[in-house]
Amino acid sequence: MSAPSHRPSVLFVCVHNAGRSQMAAAFLAHLAGDRVAVRSAGSTPADTVNPAVVEAMKEVGIDISAETPKVLTADAVRASDVVITMGCGDTCPVFPGKRYLDWQLDDPAGQGVDAVRPIRDEIERRIRELVNELAA
């Protein structure tokens, strides 16, 4: 029997931490369970999670209504193995030794649930790939 390996930590970052990064974090927590530590944050967090995003996630059985946008800190980046940015550009701090991925995704801010669904589905597809990769 092998010793338990290091649990990978993933941080999702977008500008407002109210849409894309919240959906990504929720999908990863849902699909990977406690095998992965999951965080999300925003460079300029909104006051609340986008209601259309909450609704779109509810449609796939994931409730994020209790989530709140969090401010991005250097400590959160330092504590993460993989940092996935979603349109925060140069505002994301970069530390050596971290793996960075930049996911180009439409911003759901100000969009209705119909516009959020394809973004949600693309995020889920990418998260499923990431889960397989992290498990390998």
Query: What would the pLDDT profile of 47-69 be if each residue is shown by its tens digit?
Result: 999 999 999 999 999 999 999 99
Residue from 13, 14, 57, 105 carrying the catalytic annotation: 14
Write out residues in the chain with pLDDT < 50, as ranges. 1-4
Residue from 11, 18, 54, 92 carrying the catalytic annotation: 92
- Give the per-residue pLDDT at 93: 66
DSSP-based three-state secondary structure for 95: coil
- Give the per-residue pLDDT at 19: 95
- Give the per-residue pLDDT at 6: 77
The residue among 1, 23, 41, 32 whose CA lies nearest residue 121 is: 23
Residue from 88, 105, 127, 131 carrying the catalytic annotation: 88
Structure tokens at 132: 């397989």
Residue whose pair of structure tokens reads 């990418």 in the numeric block: 126
- Give the per-residue pLDDT at 95: 77
- Give the per-residue pLDDT at 58: 98
Q: Are 17 and 40 in contact (CB under 8 A)?
A: yes
- Give the per-residue pLDDT at 90: 64
Structure tokens at 113: 């649930």
DSSP-based three-state secondary structure for 89: helix
Alpha helices in the chain (DSSP H): 20-32, 51-59, 74-78, 113-135
Q: Is 38 a catalytic residue?
A: no
DSSP-based three-state secondary structure for 101: strand
Q: Is 92 a catalytic residue?
A: yes
Q: Is 88 a catalytic residue?
A: yes
- Give the per-residue pLDDT at 5: 61
Alpha helices in 33-85 (DSSP H): 51-59, 74-78
